[in-house]
Amino acid sequence: MEKILTGKKGQKLLLLGDEAIVRGALEAGVGVASTYPGTPASEIGDTFSELAKKAGIYFEYSTNEKVATEVAAAAAFAGIRSIVSYKQFGFNVATDSVFPLAYHGVRGGMVIAFSDDPQCWSSGQSEQDSRIYARIAHMPMLEPSDSQECKDFAKLGIELSEKLGIPVLIRITTRIAHTRNVVSLGQLKKGKTKGDFPPKYKLESKWRNMPPKIVQVHAELNRKLAKLAKTHGKKFTTLSGSKKGARFGIITSGVSSQYAYHALEELGIKAPVLRLGMSWPLPEKEIKDFIKPLKEVLVVEELEPVLEREVARLSKEANPSLKIHGKDLLPVNGELKPGIVLSALASLKGKKLTALEKHKKMLAKLHPPPRQPVFCPGCPHRSTFYAVKKASPKNTVFGGDIGCYILGIFEPHETQDFVVSMGATNGICHGLSKTTKQPVISFLGDSTFFHAGVPGIVNMVFNKSSPLVVILDNRVTAMTGHQPNPGVGITGMGEKTKELNIADITTACGVDTVVTVNSFNEKAIEKTTKELLKKPGVKVMISKGECRLLFRRRMRKAGVKLPTFEIDPKKCSACGECIERFGCPAIHKDKSGKYYIDQDFCWGCGVCAQICTKGAIKVKTKPAKGGGKQ
Amino acid sequence: MTFNLIVSGVGGQGVLTLAAVIGEAVLQSGHDVKVAELHGLAQRFGPLSTHIRFGKKVGSPLIAEAGANLLIGLERLEVLHTLKYVGKDTSVLMGTREAVPTILYRKNIPYPTVDQVIAKIRKFTSKVITADAGERAKSIGAPEVTANIYLTGMAVQMNLLPLKEKHITNAMKELMPKKILQTNLKVLKLGMKDAIG
């Protein structure tokens, strides 16, 4: 990762799209970077976190995406070049502050880099196409199609933003964010980290937008973007293949373009391809020129028919008889793949893909057993869910939220009855507590608590409901790659800071009953859950236990071996408690049905020994001093 | 000509580490390369596969159906899950390590045996090689998780992976912490030696 900073001009590095964006920003002389982690964009922030100190710039993991946006905007107000990054749902959180920014304007160049996630590889809530945001935000949107363009566009985006005085959006998708490819580096530029907020800007009415002036600013913005399409449309548009005499062509952007090139090559079809690097404002002239001589066009894009509708609109003037294909042949859901685009193009061109069809038929007959992601061995969430579920009446509603604990959706836990958005469990559980007679338990993690969980708890107290809130405090933002949060005591720059105390905060919110339990103590969690469920009003149970991955890494560094456990076959009755209800992936059955613990995967939490109905599980190798205790 | 490699396994088996090593090795050999990874759920014992494409100029980050030249499978159920990319020209190099998803016990679904998996692969390609990669690595005191490097050694030796040993070792030196490097280099050698038989 260090090379992203030390790499010289002309050097080639293998970089993720996310990492390439960081290099591009550093080449543009960025001085401030902020984020709230979210996969697939997490590595943008993580790379800054690793490099910021050495690069002499400022970086922070903010409490949420809205705050992160405000931090980067402030830098840009003060004339410092800045970048903020998040995943698509993070953009949703940030919109309240993003949308006014173009009206308001920036002095330093500011890029908002975000990643959509077609196919929902890391996004449980919705398959969102955020391209539409560019239109509402009145900001240019750049769409790189590989890591090289990620780097180049990040740099160009910051420069363009500064020139225009409005932030620039860079939209990537999972396959861009998480594909490593070769990037040729440019020259680094030392960014300034201190600017000013000069009095004259305070006086300029532009910076204090109010009606009726805001309506005029709106018109100005639209004019600015229309002008940008004319001045920069060509610069961000790539035409490949020959247009001469062509009757058919493809319009595409982002990673979809790679599948389009692949399909043309596979089928031996020669056709021009227009790839849009700037999808907003639309390079109308370039699109019109491209479609004018064509009879038929295929728009290759993932998710919604955003470009297709625009092409249809532009064709009315440029080529009314043009046949437009897109979502008649390609899916609106799921990510595109080379085979999907190949099949679409083949069917359009009347070509048969016999081998591929045969292959698909063979695959359909396979029916391989399933595998789904599970909690790691020793995960504090597993033991918390197991004990809370055991202690709760059958009709209990379990509110779910965003984090590793979302895996509680699956069997055998089934302790995430709904998952909507960051912190939403608290609002919804309050509502359910008001509208049902069922016991309601709201689960959320430590980082989610700080991000958007607090207002929901305040609301419970204010409006008098009585759920039990269980805060799963695993001392880190785990799912997205172990970033620190306000409860951890370390900043994104690696500096020590105040460790915010969740118990104190919930108490200050007016919750009278706040209990902290050890995530690895089954009996204590069961007992506390039962007691708290009987109490009226809002109750908070903080289940504290370090993420086992992190703990293991820490112990390994310290040279401390963790204990492992084993099952005494003479005592084991094969009741299924440890496998079927606790669900630890380290516990297995051999061919004769005997239970055993796979020593390669036992991470030594010892909770199985606590829950075993026959007392058959015991320590195999004892921990060295201090090992295994959390 | 683009070479298409899939590495599949279970999160935690070193799929991403191997992908990074091979990607870096290709870079050292002077070719273009794309490595499509998935993060987030990677460490949560979930199914995991990465697509590595290299050659003169690589476009699509993903391999097309039946389009892999080589599949390195670190776990057999995940080999079945990646047969989508296996065609008649694909070589499959599979470690025999078991990782039974807990859900199978609960649903009473049998975990496929090595022979059953081989029989299914044979419907797609005749080129299947299996190895007790993890056990072999353990025999020289290396951890189970170095099975990925062991299989890479085999693939290089058997010319299933068109990369030179020196590029792989250079990439390992570049990417692996010193503490584990020596062990991994030994495992690479062992894989190469075993491939000769």
Residue A554 contacts B, CB cutoff 8 Å: no
CB-CB under 8 Å, B104 with A363: no
Residue A594 contacts B, CB cutoff 8 Å: no
- Chain A positions in Cβ-Cβ contact with residue B133 (cut-off 8 Å): none
Categorise residue A567: left if φ over 0, alpha if ψ from -120 to 50, beta otherwise.
Answer: beta
Specify the 3-state DSSP secondary structure of A277.
coil
Q: Is the pLDDT of residue A565 over 80?
A: yes
CB-CB under 8 Å, B61 with A258: yes
Q: Of A14, A339, A359, which has the smallest distance from its Cβ to B27's Cβ?
A: A14
Structural domain total, chain A: 4
User: Does any domain span residue A626?
Assistant: no
Q: Residue A136, exposed/middle/buried by CB under 10 A (0-12, 13-18, 19+)?
A: exposed
Q: What is the pLDDT of residue A213?
A: 84
- Mean pLDDT score, A280-287: 98
Residue A179 contacts B, CB cutoff 8 Å: yes
What is the distance between the terminal CA atoms of chain A, rounded to a whole angstrom?
Answer: 31
Q: Residue A518 phi/psi, 5° resolution?
A: -85, 125
Specify the 3-state DSSP secondary structure of A433.
helix
Same domain, A244 and A225: no
Residue bearing tokens 């909507």: A420
Nearest in space to A193 (alpha carbons), one of A33, A353, A413, A63: A33
Please, which residues bridge with residue B54 across strands?
B3, B33
Q: Is the pLDDT of residue A627 over 60?
A: no
Residue A148 contacts B, CB cutoff 8 Å: no
CA separation for the pair A554, A375 (Å, rounded): 19
Amino acid at A587: I
Same domain, A21 and A112: yes
What pLDDT digit, counting tens, does each position of A382-392 carry?
999 999 999 99
Set out the domains of chain B in order of their start, with CATH numbers. Answer: 3-196 (3.40.920.10)
Q: Of B40, B45, B84, which has the smallest distance from its Cβ to A585's Cβ?
A: B45
> Where does a domain end: A187, A202, A232?
A232
Same domain, A74 and A177: yes
CA of B98 vs chain A CAs: smallest distance (Å): 10
Residue A506 contacts B, CB cutoff 8 Å: no
For residue A611, what pLDDT band results from cuts at 50, 70 and 90?
A: very high
User: Does any domain span residue A514?
Assistant: yes
Maximum alpha-carbon separation in chain A: 83
For residue A151, what pLDDT band results from cuts at 50, 70 and 90?
A: very high
Q: Is the pLDDT of residue A449 over 90?
A: yes
For residue B40, what pLDDT band results from cuts at 50, 70 and 90?
A: low
- Looking at residue A490, the DSSP 8-state letter turns out to be B
CATH number of the domain encompassing residue A524: 3.40.50.970
Q: What is the pLDDT of residue A208?
A: 66
What pLDDT digit, counting tens, does each position of A501-543 carry?
999 999 999 999 999 999 999 999 999 999 999 999 999 999 9
User: Does any domain span residue A345?
Assistant: yes
- Mean pLDDT score, A612-625: 85
CB-CB under 8 Å, A259 with B44: no
> Where does a domain end: A340, A364, A388?
A364
Interface test with A, best of B2, B33, B45 (most A CBs within 10 A): B45
Same domain, A346 and A467: no
For A197, what's the count of Cα atoms within 13 Å in the CB-facing half-sphere? 7
Q: Quick one: closest CA in A to B80, which residue?
A: A368
- Chain B positions in Cβ-Cβ contact with residue A42 (cut-off 8 Å): 39-40
- Mean pLDDT score, A338-361: 95
- Mean pLDDT score, A562-575: 95
Q: Residue A81, exposed/middle/buried by CB under 10 A (0-12, 13-18, 19+)?
A: buried
Q: What is the pLDDT of residue A267?
A: 95
- Chain A positions in Cβ-Cβ contact with residue B63 (cut-off 8 Å): 338
Q: Of A42, A178, A259, which has the smallest distance from its Cβ to B38's Cβ?
A: A178
Q: What is the pLDDT of residue A472?
A: 98
CATH number of the domain encompassing residue A612: 3.30.70.20
Q: Minimum mean pLDDT among A202-211, A224-233, A372-381, A557-566: which range?
A: A202-211
Amino acid at B16: L
- Chain A positions in Cβ-Cβ contact with residue B45 (cut-off 8 Å): 373-374, 376, 585
What pLDDT digit, counting tens, does each position of B23-33 carry?
999 999 999 99
- Chain B positions in Cβ-Cβ contact with residue A382 (cut-off 8 Å): none
Q: What is the pLDDT of residue A205?
A: 56
- Looking at residue B69, the DSSP 8-state letter turns out to be S
User: Does any domain span residue A374?
Assistant: no
Average pLDDT, chain A: 95
In angstroms, what CA-CA distances link B58 with A12, A340, B111, B188?
15, 18, 37, 27
Tally A–B CB contacts below 8 A. 164
CB-CB under 8 Å, A480 with B44: no
CB-CB under 8 Å, A262 with B64: yes
Same domain, A256 and A341: yes
CATH number of the domain encompassing residue A290: 3.40.50.920
Query: What stretch of H or E contains A142?
Result: strand A141-142
- Mean pLDDT score, A129-145: 97
- Chain A positions in Cβ-Cβ contact with residue B144 (cut-off 8 Å): 600
Same domain, A193 and A263: no
Q: Is the pLDDT of residue A309 over 90?
A: yes
Same domain, A393 and A497: yes
CA separation for the pair A129, A611 (Å, rounded): 45
- Mean pLDDT score, A419-428: 98
Same domain, A444 and A589: no
β-pair type (B70-73, B91-95)? parallel
Same domain, A225 and A261: no
DSSP string covering B152-163: HHHHHHTTSS--
Nearest in space to A154 (alpha carbons), one of A257, A65, A66, A47: A47
Residue A339 contacts B, CB cutoff 8 Å: yes
CB-CB under 8 Å, A174 with B34: no
Query: What stretch of H or E contains B32?
Result: strand B32-36
Cis peptide before B143 (omega within 30 of 0): no
CB-CB under 8 Å, B40 with A40: yes
Categorise residue A270: left if φ over 0, alpha if ψ from -120 to 50, beta otherwise.
Answer: beta
> Where does a domain end: A553, A576, A596?
A553
CB-CB under 8 Å, A262 with B60: yes
- Mean pLDDT score, A584-596: 94
- Looking at residue A574, the DSSP 8-state letter turns out to be -
User: Does any domain span residue A372?
Assistant: no
User: Does any domain span residue A595?
Assistant: yes
CA separation for the pair B90, B4 (Å, rounded): 9
Range of the domain at A281: 237-364
Q: Quote ipTM for the complex.
A: 0.95
What pLDDT digit, counting tens, does each position of A462-511 carry?
999 999 999 999 999 998 989 999 999 999 999 999 999 999 999 999 99
- Chain A positions in Cβ-Cβ contact with residue B28 (cut-off 8 Å): none
In percent, the amount of chain A with pLDDT more than 90 equals 91
CB-CB under 8 Å, B24 with A14: yes
Same domain, A543 and A585: no
Residue A364 contacts B, CB cutoff 8 Å: no
Q: Quick one: closest CA in B to A600, which residue?
A: B144
What pLDDT digit, counting tens, does each position of A197-249 carry?
877 766 565 666 778 888 999 999 999 999 999 999 999 999 999 888 999 99
Same domain, A529 and A584: no
CA of A585 vs chain B CAs: smallest distance (Å): 6
For A629, what's the count of Cα atoms within 13 Å in the CB-facing half-sphere? 6
- Chain B positions in Cβ-Cβ contact with residue A254 (cut-off 8 Å): none
Same domain, A331 and A384: no
User: Does any domain span residue A66?
Assistant: yes
Q: Is the pLDDT of residue B44 over 80?
A: no
Alpha helix (H) residue ranges in chain B: 15-29, 76-81, 102-107, 114-122, 133-139, 147-157, 165-175, 178-196
Residue bearing tokens 């100190």: A53
Q: Quick one: closest CA in B to A179, which residue?
A: B36
Nearest in space to B47 (alpha carbons), one of B20, B79, B19: B79
User: Does any domain span residue A630?
Assistant: no
Q: Quick one: closest CA in A to B32, which residue?
A: A182
Tokens of A476: 């880190």
Q: Of A12, A362, A410, which has the smallest distance from its Cβ to B123's Cβ?
A: A362
Q: Tell me if A296 sits within 8 A of A246, measured CB to CB.
A: no
